[in-house]
Chain A
Amino acid sequence: MGRKILFITTDQMRYDAIGANGGAVARTPNIDSFAANGISYDRAQPQNVVCMPSRATMVTGQNIGTHGVWMNGVPLPVESPSVAAVLRDAGYRTALIGKSHFEPLLDPFLRFEENRQGFAGTTEGHRGFDHMELATHGAAGFTHYSRWIRQNHPEAIGMFFQVLDGDLEVSDVPGGDTGAPQIKHNAVPRDWYHTDWVADRTISWLDGLNSNDDWFCWMSFPDPHHPWDPPESELHRVNWRELDLPVGYPQNQDEREAIIDAKPRHWRLWYDGKLVSNYEAPGKWVPATLTADQIREVNAMAHIENELIDEAIGRVLAAIDAKGWSDDLDIVFTTDHGEFQGDFGFLFKGPYHVDSLMRIPLIWRPAPSAGGGIDATARVSKPVGLLDLAPTFCTIAGLQPPEWMEGRALPLDDADAVARGFERVTTEWDSRQPDGTEIHLRTIMRDNFVCTTYQPGTVHDGTEGELYDLVLDPLQQVNLWDDPERRALRDELLVDLAANFVEPREFRHAEAPV
């Protein structure tokens, strides 16, 4: 009997969302306990800051340029390799419960297997998962969760925020107390909400296993990704009126806009509502209109959603403990990318490679039975990426990571990271909109610097960039790209980026906007 693996992901969660990483609002004792008894990675980055590319990297252990999911809407080919298949072939029972998003969600022709299974209510899974029960951010679409809501609680369908408007654009309909976009007071009872549903279905799947089974379960919560519409019964948890504004939000408008103006021009164009660079934020929403109270309310909603996730995790852990598996259980907790949540005066995400979107929580709580060689209270400061997860799962299972995986098993501590050459992590962005707008970013993080170069597109000519000193400027408010004194450092980082970046071999068709 080997080690069990519980892989927990959230969607669009910031590094500082949890108590273990300094978060002071949401109570996350279960996640914090993973850090207290495990390894926290303080510089973990996704390889792309939107869902589909990032999740494709998690399941394949590959760079974006290799698996080819270069923007949302581009499906991961069914024949792509999968860590779940590796584990299943080694005898593991495998499941993915919650949000997968390896394939487009907006699929009226039901061309994609995950939507077909969700629509039909079948759970046979694919991509090496022998069980899938899928959910996304509400009751719409072809997921198992939306089917469950339709069949059991049809009155709840209209309670959720409607993510897309009549133009199929991400909706900017205001709500809540402050009129912030994508907020809704949701009358859905808590136990009908997708966070609890994901935990319920995970417990149900675990209950069906034999006590001596080895298993890999990816429990994937759709929150705290917008819309911010947690059950209104839970709104008492955090009073938005009492929240401090994020440290990443310069409250003085002139100061805020000066910071934005020192960044490549698409920052200011989006801020003023003059550019829609990507589909992942409401196209009609103008960030310059965002108020301090709206930022407070959005943050409160995210904190509430994170508390619900933590409590759902607690229920699953109790179920695992009741099965007698806790000593053999490895837990890996992370998310797919971050969220502005008010930083610089923005919400949502896009081609903006700053810590708001790129720095994510990542914790590995090794199985207590794994014993020697693991410092179970380490904090790793060296850079790691989500492409390192799949090889880590193989290593936990006692398997050699396949050659097609491009990451490496996560380091156990900084000494291990140094010994094994964890020096850098790269993140990329490519997008092409139907109106022809193209943006391309290539980013390297190493030696406490983040350096982003912009390839030619419709907004940039290829000379622009960003360079931040994370020690002196942790909020990334001072762009050093054009600083002559940093020119040598910038050039060195760009050479290193070029040497370590996997360029996409082709830009396959996007099959849906998301």
Chain B
Amino acid sequence: MATIRSHARVHRNADDVWKVVGDPTRIVQWFPGVTAVTVEDNIRTLTLAAGLPVFEEIVTLDNRMRRFQYRITGPLPVKYHLGTMDVIEDGEPGCLLLYSTEISPDPMAFVLDGVISEGIQNLARMLNDHTEDER
């Protein structure tokens, strides 16, 4: 089991940031290589740039804690996965975006570490620039 973590500071209040993070369909705005997304009940399906689908189960969507958790269920070769995004109030206005991942097998950590790190920076930039509504 490997664990990885990325973070970014956003100069916006936590409720504004949670509007984006807490909406599972908006991942297409900031996560690299995701070209389409659908959400049905607790199943999120991503389409990657190469046409590959990624199936995910939404585990937690906690508006009070501002926590989003999901699991990759296929077809990436994942034996165990839990992704957690936390939006933590930190200063006025300001918050910390924290993206933690537990994953097995270990090599998948390499694959996700870089793309999540890039994604979290994209997300922070979008929020800091107030461009999240420019679809």
Contacts A169-B105, A513-B107; A108 near B76 (Cβ below 8 A):
yes
Partner of B108, one of A107, A119, A168, A435: A168
What are the interface flags for B92-135 relative to A under an 8 Å C-beta threshold, 1 for contact and 0 otherwise?
00000000000001111111011101100000000000000000
A434 near B117 with CB under 8 A, answer no
Within 8 Å CB of A142, what residues of B? 50
Q: Are B114 and A509 in contact (CB under 8 A)?
A: yes
Q: Is B77 close to A, CB under 8 A?
A: yes
Q: Is B48 an interface residue (CB 8 A)?
A: yes
Name the distance in Å between A431's Cβ and chain B's nearest Cβ: 12
Q: Which residues of B have CB within 8 Å of A107?
A: 111
* A435 CA / B105 CA spacing, docked (Å): 11
A110 to B52 CA separation, bound complex (whole angstroms): 10
Picked from B2, B33, B50, B110, the residue with its CB within 8 Å of the CB of A512 is: B110
A108-B76, A167-B77, A167-B79 in contact; A510/B114 too (CB < 8 A)?
yes
Q: Are B32 and A511 in contact (CB under 8 A)?
A: no
**CB of B49 within 8 Å of the partner chain:** yes
Query: In the bound complex, what is the Cα–Cα distance between A435 and B4 (angstroms)?
Result: 11
Q: Which residues of A contact B115 (CB under 8 A)?
A: 109, 111, 511
Q: Most B CB atoms within 10 A — which of A116, A142, A511?
A: A511
Bound complex: CA of A106 vs CA of B113, how far in Å? 13
* CB <8 Å contact, B106 and A110: no
Q: Are A106 and B111 in contact (CB under 8 A)?
A: yes
A509–B49 CB distance below 8 A: no
Asked if A168 meets B105 with Cβ closer than 8 Å, knowing A110-B49, A111-B33, the reply is yes
Given contacts A109-B33, A110-B33, contact A167 B49 (CB under 8 A): no
Interface of chain A residues 259 through 308 with chain B (CB within 8 A)? 279
Looking at chain A's contact residues, the main secondary structure is loop
| Residue in B32, B49, B113 whose Cβ sees the most chain A Cβ within 10 Å | B49
Q: How far is the CA of A279 from the CA of B2 in the complex (A)?
A: 15
A373 within 8 A of B: no
Nearest-CB distance from B65 to chain A (Å)?
Answer: 28
Q: Tell me if A73 is interfacial: C-beta within 8 Å of chain B.
A: yes
Is A166 part of the contact surface with B, judged by Cβ < 8 Å? yes
For A511, list chain B residues within 8 Å (CB). Answer: 110-111, 113-115
Does A395 belong to the interface (CB within 8 Å)? no
Which residues from B are CB-within-8-Å of A109? Answer: 32-34, 48-49, 115
A108-B48, A111-B32, A119-B50 known; A167+B107 contact, CB < 8 A: yes
Residue of chain B at shortest CB distance from A115: B50
Interface positions, chain B 3-54, Cβ under 8 Å from A, are: 32-34, 48-50, 52
* A433 in the interface (beta carbon within 8 A): yes
- Chain A residue contacts of B77, Cβ below 8 A: 166-168
Residue of B32, B52, B110, B113 ringed by the most chain A CB atoms within 10 A: B110
For residue A343, give the distance in angstroms from its CB to the closest CB of chain B: 27
Q: Is the CB of A110 within 8 A of B114?
A: no
Q: A106 vs B107: C-alpha distance in the bound complex, in angstroms? A: 10
Known: A108-B76, A110-B33, A168-B77. A513 touches B110 (CB 8 A): yes
Minimum C-beta distance from A508 to chain B (A): 9
B residues less than 8 Å from A106 (CB atoms): 107, 110-111
A interface residues, how many (CB within 8 angstroms): 24
Digitize A92-103: 1 where CB-to-B-CB distance is under 8 Å, 0 elsewhere: 000000000000
* In the complex, chain B residues whose CB is within 8 Å of the CB of A104: 114
Contacting residue for B110 out of A116, A119, A166, A510, CB 8 A:
A510
B51's closest neighbor in chain A, by CB?
Answer: A119
Q: Which residues of B contact A513 (CB under 8 A)?
A: 107, 110-111
CA distance A142 to B33 in the complex (A): 14
Chain B residues contacting A509 (CB-CB under 8 Å) are 113-114, 117
Q: Do A108 and B107 touch across chains, with their CB atoms under 8 A apart?
A: no
Q: A434-B110, A435-B2, A512-B110 are in contact. Are A108 and B105 (CB under 8 A)?
A: no
A435→B106 contact, CB < 8 A: yes
CB 8 Å contact bits of B64-93 with A (1 = contact, 0 = none): 000000000000110100000000000000
A308 to B31, CA, bound (A): 43
Chain A residues contacting B107 (CB-CB under 8 Å) are: 106, 167-169, 279, 434, 513
Of the candidates B48, B49, B76, B106, the one whose C-beta lies within 8 Å of that of A434 is B106
A260 → chain B closest CB, angstroms: 26
**Given A167-B77, A168-B77, A509-B117, CB of A110 within 8 Å of CB of B50:** yes
Interface residues of A in 482-514 (CB under 8 A from B): 509-513
Contacts of B106 in A (CB 8 A): 433-435
Tell me the bound Cα distance from A104 to B113 in angstroms: 13
**Shortest CB distance B28–A (Å):** 13
B34, B52, B114 interface centre (most CB from chain A within 10 Å): B114
* Residues of A close to B105: CB separation below 8 A: 167-169
Q: Give the contacting residue for B114; candidates A116, A119, A434, A512; CB below 8 A.
A: A512
State the CA gap A155–B80 with chains docked (Å): 32
* Nearest neighbor of B35 in chain A, beta-carbon distance: A110
Residues in A435-465 with C-beta less than 8 Å from chain B:
435
Q: Which residues of A contact B48 (CB under 8 A)?
A: 108-110
**B residues less than 8 Å from A279 (CB atoms):** 107
Nearest first, the 8 closest Cβ-Cβ pairs linking A and B are: A109-B33, A511-B114, A434-B2, A434-B106, A110-B49, A168-B107, A167-B105, A513-B107
Given contacts A111-B32, A166-B77, 9 further A-B contacts (CB under 8 A): A108-B50, A108-B111, A109-B34, A109-B115, A111-B115, A169-B105, A434-B106, A435-B106, A510-B113
What are 7 of the A-B contact pairs (CB < 8 Å)? A106-B107, A108-B48, A142-B50, A168-B105, A510-B110, A511-B111, A512-B114
- Which chain B residues have a beta carbon within 8 Å of chain A's beta carbons? 2, 32-34, 48-50, 52, 76-77, 79, 105-111, 113-115, 117-118
